[in-house]
Structure 1
C-alpha cells in the first residue's frame, strides 16, 4: 500500500510532471517472474526513475547511507527508498558482500525484479566502467535473465555533490534480456563469471553508447582523491 501511494499518488506524479521522463524498450521487462535489471549508474536519481517508470516493482540493493541521511532531503530520500521497497546494504566488502548477494537472491527467489548496478558505484565522470562479478553469480544461482537498462541524462539532472536537481528530461533505454542458461551450474568458475559480467557491460555500452574503460569505477575515484598529508614528526629540542 505504501509503495502504491509513493509511486502513484505522492512522489511519482510530481517527478513525472517536472522531469517528463521517457522510456524506450519497456516491453523487454518480463511481465512476470524474477529477473535482474542491470543498469549503468550515473546519479543518485537512477534508483528513483527506473522503478518509477516500470509497471512492476523493482527492488534495488541501495547503499545504507541513503537510509541514514539527515534533514529534509535525508527524510525524503529515506521515505522514498523504503516506500518503493529498496533494501539497505553494507558495501564494505568481505562478509558484507556475501550478505548483499544473499539478500539479492532472496528477492529473486520471491519472483521479483532486482535492480543492480554492475559497476558497484556511480561513475565519477559519465564513463561506463568495469563490472563486478556479483551480478553474474546471482544470475546463475537464481537462474534468471539479465535485462540491460541505460539511464540517460540523470547525471545532468543531479550531478554528484549537487544538492538540488536541474530541471532536465531524463530517459531510460531498456534492451533485450540476456540469457545465460548455457552456464547454469558453473557459478563457481570465476572465469565464467567474468565472461558473463563482461557480456553484460558490452550490452550496456552498445545500448547507451557510453565511453567504456576496463577499470573499476572505485579505482578511478580513489585515484582522484587527494593524498593524505604526511604526519609531521614531533620536534625535539
Structure 2
C-alpha cells in the first residue's frame, strides 16, 4: 500500500510538472522477467522509468542512500526502500557481481529490473560503451532486454545539481524487446556473445536517443 501511494503521488507530480512524452510502452511485457536497459543522464532517471512503466521496476542504488543521518537520511532510506530498490556498496570489490546476483534474483521471481549499461551517468551527454553485465544478466535470467532511451532528464536535474527543476522536454522511448537467445551461435565464445549482445542493446538505445557516441 505504501508503495502504491508513493507511486501515485510521484506520478501526479511528474505528469503535472514534467509531462513526459512516452512512446513504445507496448514493448514492455506486462508480466514475466524483463530487463529495461537505459541510457543515463540524470538522477531522476531511476524515478521516471518506474513511474511510466505499468509494473514494479527494481533498480540498483548506491548504499549511501540508506546510510545517511538525520531527517534527510531517514527520508532517503524510506524512499529507496519503499521504491524497492536494492543497495550496493560501491567500496566492495565484488559490488558489480553482487549487483548482478541481486538483479538475477529479481528476474527469477518474474520481476522487471532496470539497468544502465554505461555504468554511471553520462557527464558529457554522450552515449558511452555499455558494460557486458546487461548481457550476462539477460542470458543468465533468460530475460528479454527492452532498450530505453531518455531525453531531456539532464535538463530537469543536471549532474551536480541537488534539486530538480520543472521542464517539459522529457521523452521516454521504449524499443522492441531483444531476445538474448538469438545472440547465441554455435562455437561462439561467451565473452564474444556478451559483447555482441551488449552492443546490440546500445545500438538500439543510440537510434532512439540520438546521442553522440563517445569516442
TM above 0.5, one fold? yes
Q: Secondary structure at the match of 2:113?
A: strand
Displacement of 1:65 in angstroms is: 2.5
1:213 aligns with 2:214: yes
Distance between the aligned counterparts of 2:77 and 2:189, measured in 1?
Answer: 36
> 2:196 — aligned with what?
195
Structure possessing the higher radius of gyration over alpha carbons: 1
> 1:20 — aligned with what?
19
Unaligned 5+ residue runs, structure 2?
none
Q: Which moved more, 1:22-31 or 1:38-47?
A: 22-31
TM-score (norm 1): 0.83
Relative to structure 1, the CA distance from residue 136 to residue 66 in structure 2 (aligned partners, 3 Å threshold; closer, same or farther) is same
1:40 aligns with 2:42: no
Relative to structure 1, the CA distance from residue 34 to residue 27 in structure 2 (aligned partners, 3 Å threshold; closer, same or farther) is same
> Contact 2:10/2:51 (CA < 8 Å) preserved in 1?
no
Displacement of 1:84 in angstroms is: 1.6
Relative to structure 1, the CA distance from residue 184 to residue 212 in structure 2 (aligned partners, 3 Å threshold; closer, same or farther) is same
1:182 aligns with 2:178: no
Q: C-alpha deviations, 1:93-138, integer Å up to 9, x for none?
A: 6422221111010000000000000000000111110100111001
Distance between the aligned counterparts of 2:35 and 2:13, measured in 1?
Answer: 27
How many positions carry a matched residue from both structures? Answer: 213
Displacement of 1:71 in angstroms is: 5.9
Distance between the aligned counterparts of 2:159 and 2:18, measured in 1?
Answer: 18
> Contact 2:184/2:193 (CA < 8 Å) preserved in 1?
no
> 2:137 — aligned with what?
138
Distance between the aligned counterparts of 1:70 and 1:171, measured in 2?
Answer: 35
Relative to structure 1, the CA distance from residue 15 to residue 67 in structure 2 (aligned partners, 3 Å threshold; closer, same or farther) is farther
TM-score (norm 2): 0.91
> Contact 1:57/1:113 (CA < 8 Å) preserved in 2?
yes
Distance between the aligned counterparts of 1:156 and 1:69, measured in 2?
Answer: 27
Q: Secondary structure at the match of 2:59?
A: strand
Note the aligned Cα RMSD (angstroms): 2.1
